Amino acid sequence: MAIDDLLDEHEQSERVRTWLRKNGAGILSGVILGVGAIAGWQWWQKEQVGKLAEANVRYEAVSRSLQSKKLDDAAKEVAALGSGKAGIYADLASLELAKAQVEAGKNEDAIKTLRALKTEGEFKALIDQRVARLLIETGKADEAVKLIGAADDSASLEIRGDALIAQNKRDEARELYTQALAKLDVAAPQRRLLETKLMDAGGTVADPAAEKI
């Protein structure tokens, strides 16, 4: 090996040492952060799996309580699940509890259960509609109308019509039923009930082919 080559290698080695002295701490910090991020991700995944497992256990407890008609116990388990924290388990448990409460004639409790759900989008609209129907059944038609607001889909129009019927406003209800029917598919299973409501309000059922939205 020529002396010039040795000098070049020595010079290169010194350059490497100098660079490491300047940047070594940064590299080491990056490695530590990288390892920490991986460990953190693994911990987070483990935590999520643990929470889901716990949520599943509580959901099963809710189901058992409902089967035994122990609604108070089921309500406690639903509260322990924590809507929004246990994902689908919490939502399903709340919906099942509300259904059982309605079947037991406890509409006020069902309203409270449904309103505790943290929902958004289309799911929220469906929950609001169910709450509105229960409000009408409990004599709170005004509150039901406020909850539905200006929504103009078929279901919302029907609910507003139901609220008006509860307030003895048949003419206004008839108009809303007519609008709701016009927006409903001809083959929709709920069409027959809506037609009955319209006729009871003094309206007539038009030929579906002639209906205009």
- The span from the CA of 187 to the CA of 89, in Å, is 33
Residues lower than pLDDT 50 in the chain: 1-7, 29, 32-37, 39-44, 46-47, 83-84, 212-213
**In this structure, are residues 129 and 98 in contact, taking their beta carbons and an 8 Å threshold?**
no
- What single-letter amino acid sits at 180? A
* Both tokens assigned to 11: 């010079």
pLDDT of residue 129: 93
Distance CA 32, CA 95 (A): 46
User: Are the C-beta atoms of 60 and 90 separated by less than 8 Å?
Assistant: no
Question: Contact at 8 Å (CB) between 111 and 99?
Answer: no
Sign of the alpha-carbon torsion through 169, 170, 171, 177: positive
Digit-coded pLDDT (tens) for 110-161: 999 999 888 788 888 999 999 999 999 999 999 999 999 989 999 999 999 9
- What pLDDT score was predicted for residue 168? 94
Element (H, E) at 5: helix 3-67
DSSP at 205: P
Both structure tokens of 139:
């004599």
pLDDT computed for residue 210 by the predictor: 54
**pLDDT at position 32, please?**
44
- Cβ-based neighbours of 113, under 8 Å, separated by 6 or more: 75, 78, 94, 97, 98, 101
Tokens standing for residue 57: 């256990």
